[in-house]
Amino acid sequence: MRILHTMLRVGNLETSIKFYTEVLKMKLLRKSDYPGGKFTLAFVGYGDEATDSVLELTHNWEINTYDMGSAYGHIAIEVNNIYEVCEKIKEMEGKIIREPGPMKHGSTIIAFVEDPDKYKIELIQKKN
């Protein structure tokens, strides 16, 4: 068994695709419209779906915003240089909501960024 994807509902699909592909450097793997159901699915990730877990961005055509709820936590992404990645995200007008630094009660270096729909993404510095 393996995790295939995590689905996020997004209000503006093109804005979300731009964020994940340009700011977080993922690839748009595929995109399909479902006119009968009035929704579009876009899959983004760092590798092929056959071997890597990816994100499914779901856009319901008649809905522009969602209530976040209290159960969602975050998506985590390992990065080689967290300080450099955060600077590039800022240059692309991405929203850093926690600057890089050690996590509370630990030594792992983390940061948090927020996507256009306010989903939180944790960046984790790769350990040597």
Active-site residue set:
122
Residues 3, 35: Cα–Cα separation, whole Å? 28
Report, in this order, helix, strand and coil percent for the chain, each rounded to 5. Answer: 15, 40, 45
For 7-50, the pLDDT digits (tens) are: 999 999 999 999 999 999 999 999 999 999 999 999 999 999 99
Q: Whose CA is closest to 47, among 5, 80, 88, 81?
A: 5
- Res 31: pLDDT: 98
- Res 128: pLDDT: 80
Residues 96, 92: Cα–Cα separation, whole Å? 11
What domains can be seen in the chain, in order of their start residue? 5-60 (3.10.180.10), 75-125 (3.10.180.10)
Per-residue confidence band for 59, with pLDDT thresholds at 50, 70 and 90: very high
What mean pLDDT comes out for the span 74-91?
97
At 9, is the secondary structure helix, strand, or coil? Answer: strand
**Percent of the chain clearing pLDDT 70 (strictly above):** 100
30 to each of 21, 47, 55, 56, 114, how far by Cα in Å?
Answer: 12, 12, 11, 10, 23
What mean pLDDT comes out for the span 98-121?
96
- Res 71: pLDDT: 86
